[in-house]
Amino acid sequence: MARRPLPRILSTGGAQLARSRELARTAVDNAADVLHPLIVVTRGLRRLAGAARRTWSKTPKDRRGPLLFLVASVLLVVVTVPYGPLLAAVALMAVAAWQGRDRTPRQPEGPDASRVQRLASLYEALVPYFSAAEDPEPLYSHGGAWEKAFPAHEFDDSGRIRHLVVRYPAYFTDGEPESRTRIERLLAAKAGRGREYLFTWDEESNQLTVTALAPLPTGIAAQRFVTAPGETVLGFTDPGEVQRTLPLTCGEERRDVPPVVWRTGPRSTEPHLLALGQPGSGTSTLLRSVALQALQHGDVVIADGGSTGEYACLVGRDGVLAVECGLSGVLASLEWAATETERRLIAVGRARQAGQPPPKDTRRPLWLLLDRPATFTHLAAAEGRTNPQDLLQVPLRHGRAVGVTVVVAEQLDNAEALSDAVRRHTHARVVLGAATAQQIEAVLGAPPHTTPPAAVPAGRGYARLGTKAVHRLQVPATPDPYDDTVSDAWRQAVLDLLPPRTTPADGQTVPEGAAAGTGASLVKPS
C-alpha cells in the first residue's frame, strides 16, 4: 500500500513555528535596543521622583511652606528666562539618564593573575599523566594552553578551586581504578588540602568534574525525626544524594536536611547494622541515637563492652530490657534473645499455618545493641566460656522475619575479632572517624565517592546500605546526658527524648537519679 503524504500544515508547521519564534525574538531584541535610552530615562525619572518624595516626607511640617515657596520661585525664574523651559527639560533628561544608568558593577572577564597561575600549575602537573609521545596533537604538553583542558572553572572567596571540569585524552585509562586514584590524589593536593572533593568521571565525553564539597552540619542535636515505623535515621548527607529531606531544628533555625534512612523489618534487605570507627569517632553516639529512635516502637537490649557508663541514662527506662556491662549479664541477655527469637519464629509459623495474623507479642520490634563485643569475646576466651558473638547467630539469621534487629559497633583495630556471622549478616555498614580509602572500601565493599579528609569531627564518616551507593554521613549529636563536658543544650535534648522510668510492681515510681550509677538491669521475662 502506498504511503499517503502528510498534510501540508503538519509537515511544514514545525518549521513555520520555529521561524515565527525566531522573528519574534529578533523583534524583541531590536525593540529593546531602540527603546533602551527611553528605558534609562524613565528609570531615572522614577528614582528622582522617589528621592523627591523621601525629601518631602523627611521635611518637618513647619518648613514645608518655605520649601514650596522656594520651588515656585525657581519655576518662575525658569519660565521667565529665554529658552528656560527647554534648557530645564534638557537638564532634567540628562540628570534622569545619569540616575537611570545600570549601577551593577562589572565582573572582571576571566580569572585574575593568581587564579591563572593556579590553573597553569595544575595543568602542568597533569601533563605527565595525560600526555603521550605518539599523540600528534596533544591536549596536554609542557607550556601548553590550559584553556582547552579546563573548559569550566569556579573559585571560592579564598581563591581556591571550587568547581573544575577537566578534559582528558581518549587514550587515558579511565576504566582502571589505579589510574583514577592517581589523578584524584593529584587534583586534591593541587586544588587545596583540608577539603573533601567529589570526582565525577564521564567516560563517554572524556571529562572529569571536580567539586569541593561543603562540610556537613555538625550542630544538629538529637530530636524526634519525621519517620515511619521501621525507619531509623543514621545521620545526614549531602543535598542531591538522596531523594528526601527531613524538617529539623538546628539551634533556633528550622531547615530541611537530607537524611540517610535505614529501614528494618520483614521486608528489609539489610536488617542488621555494623558500625566501625576509631576511638572517639562517634560509634557510641550512633548507638545512642539508634536506641532513642528504637524505643519509640520497640524494646532494647544493650551490651556495653566499653564499661564506661555511656548508656547509664537508659537504665530503668520503659522499653529498655537490659543494659549489661559484665560478661555474665551479657551472656544471659543474649541467650534470652536467642530463645526469644526462636519462640517468635515458632509462634509466627503456627499462626501462618492456621491462617491467622502473627501474635501481638511477636510484632513488637526487639533491638540488640552491642558496643565493642570484642571485649566480651576476649573475656569469654580467658574464662573458657561461650563466645557472646556465637549467641548472635540465631538473631542475625532469622531475626528479620520476627522483628529482631542487631546493631554492632566496634573499633577498626578490633574488626578482625568479629565473628563470621556478624560480618556475613550485617549488610548495612557505617565507618566513622579518620580512615583511609582502603579501610573504608574493606568495610563498605565499595570505595568512597569523595576524598576522606585528614581531620574529621565526631560522628563524621560514610554509610552504605546493602549494595547501594556510598554516602557521606554526619551522625546527630547524641552525647551522654550525664557528661558535663558537652553542651547543655545537647544534653537536654537527649534527656527530653528518654522514656520515663519503669514503674515497679509495688506501684512506686523510680526516682529520676536512682539508676544513674547502676551498671545493669534485669532482663524482662518473655
Question: What does the pLDDT average to over 331-338?
Answer: 96
Question: What does the pLDDT average to over 150-170?
Answer: 90
Question: What does the pLDDT average to over 231-255?
Answer: 88
For residues 288 and 89, the model is more confident at: 288
Give the residue from 168, 171, 71 showing the smallest Cα distance to 126.
Answer: 168
| pLDDT tier at 4, thresholds 50, 70, 90 | low
- Cα 95 from chain centre: 52
Q: How far apart are CA 497 and CA 162, in angstroms?
A: 39
Class of residue 440 by CB neighbours under 10 A (exposed 0-12, middle 13-18, buried 19+): buried
Q: What is the pLDDT of residue 373?
A: 95
E strand intervals along 4-132: none
Find out whether 221 and 489 touch, Cβ atoms under 8 Å.
yes
| pLDDT tier at 272, thresholds 50, 70, 90 | very high
Binding-site residue positions:
277-284
C-alpha pair distances (Å), 479 with each of 285, 302, 318: 6, 16, 20
Please tell me whether residue 163 adopts helix, strand or coil conformation.
strand
**pTM of the complete model beyond 0.95:** no
* pLDDT tens-digit map of 187-229: 988 888 778 899 999 999 999 999 998 889 888 999 999 999 9
Binding-site residue positions for ATP:
277-284
Q: What is the pLDDT of residue 18?
A: 61
Find out whether 287 and 423 touch, Cβ atoms under 8 Å.
no
Q: What is the pLDDT of residue 144?
A: 87
Find out whether 276 and 418 touch, Cβ atoms under 8 Å.
no
Q: How far apart are CA 365 and CA 265, in angstroms?
A: 8
Class of residue 342 by CB neighbours under 10 A (exposed 0-12, middle 13-18, buried 19+): middle
- Find cell 565473628 and name the residue: 419
* pLDDT tens-digit map of 475-521: 999 999 998 888 899 999 999 999 998 755 444 444 444 444 334 44
Q: What is the pLDDT of residue 396?
A: 96
Cell reading at 435? 580512615
Phi, psi (5° rounding) for residue 468? -80, -175
List Cβ neighbours of 211 (8 Å cut-off, separation of 6 or more): 162, 163, 197, 198, 200
